[in-house]
Structure 1
Amino acid sequence: MADPQAALVTQLRNIQARTGKTIPALHELLTASGLQKTGERRSLLMEQLGLGYGDANTVALLMGKPLPPLDGSAPPPPAAVVGDVLDALYSGKKAGLRPLHDAVMALVAPMGVFEQAPKKTYISLRRKKQFAMLGPATQTAVELGLNVKDLPPAARLKAVPAGGMCQYTVRFSALDEVDAELAGWLRAAFDAAG
């Protein structure tokens, strides 16, 4: 299973390398700006430092929260927020679907840095923009929404009408459906997001 906290540490280290500033220094910059809303702080980081949406959003969301060690001195603490949401999403009659979610995350993890944004009924996966949505669709199936254009037609890939968060969805109920074809669709969405 992919470790979201390790992905966060990698993302923060990359932000520091790109900007030449530590995360605490970026937080000081935001505090000095006087901006209070996350969106305003995110915009400032994007405009002044050229950060992408996902990186700027992560820095803004971490304001006033404890940071994981970024110098490799200690292992990062567990990712309680995402884990808590996953525990809630995959509880009761949907508990058996959690291995499907974990299998998809194992496909995404090696692709690069991304953010997991927990929502009420799914997890949003983001780079500069959302590239996928993942969560239980029914008691027996998980649904993966893909934000990518022009995927080749496939029997299990459903095109979604324009105007939605994703252009395609795919539902699956078994681990053998988390296969190379699904990995290819995920890769295309990941690459298209920045």
Structure 2
Amino acid sequence: MLEAQYRGKEALRPVHDALVKYAASLGKDMEISTKKTSVALRRSKNFAVIVPATKTRIDRGINLKGEPGTGRLLDEKPGSMCTHKVRLETVADVDAEVKAWLKDAYERA
């Protein structure tokens, strides 16, 4: 399923891999659940989701209930699985800020 998600979007696979590698470092209880169109990162519940949204961008959904959106941490539509999303185009976009949000979401899960 993962190969199908990135068919035609191969340039985004290193971004996906960087997100998963960092998430895996957060704890042994972190699970990866690959779906048809996304990859869920979960603990006792989903705390993030990785979606190859376009040929040039991954949308990383994240659960940070109660946090205000910012220019980069975008509020998600009400009723969405995640409360926010971050748009990522390159491995460099998986920076300290993105990792801090991911760690916070993991700790809340």
Is the TM-score greater than 0.5? yes
Q: Deviations over 1:143-185 (max 9, x none)?
A: 1000121335431111013211000001111111100000010
The structure carrying a bigger strand percent of its residues is 2
CA distance in 1 between counterparts of 2:60 and 2:41 reads 10
Find the counterpart in structure 2 of residue 102 from structure 1: 17
Q: Give structure 2 stretches of 5+ with no counterpart.
A: none
- 1:114-125 aligned at under 5 Å gives the runs 114-125=30-41
CA contact (8 A) 1:151 1:185 kept: no
Alignment partner of 1:135 out of 51, 64, 73: 51
Q: Which runs of 5+ in 1 are unaligned?
A: 1-84
The CA RMSD measured in Å over matched residues stands at: 1.2
Point out which structure has higher relative CO (alpha carbons under 8 A, 6+ apart): 2
d(CA) in 1 for partners of 2:11 and 2:94?
A: 15
Percentage of identical aligned residues: 43
Matches within 5 A, 1:33-48: none
- Alignment of 1:145 with 2:61, yes or no, is yes
Query: How far apart in 1 are the matches of 2:60 and 2:77?
Result: 16
Q: Structure 1 residues 122, 161: closer, same or farther in 2, change over 3 A?
A: same
Which 4+ stretches in 1 moved above 4 angstroms?
A: none
Q: Answer yes or no: is the 8 Å Cα contact 2:2–2:36 preserved in 1.
A: no
- Give yes or no for contact 2:69–2:84 (8 Å, CA) kept in 1: no
Partner SS for 2:92: helix
One-letter code aligned to 1:105: V
Rg (Cα) greater in structure = 1
Considering fraction of residues, name the structure with more helix: 1
Counting matched residue pairs gives 108
Q: Residue in 2 aligned with 1:179?
A: 95
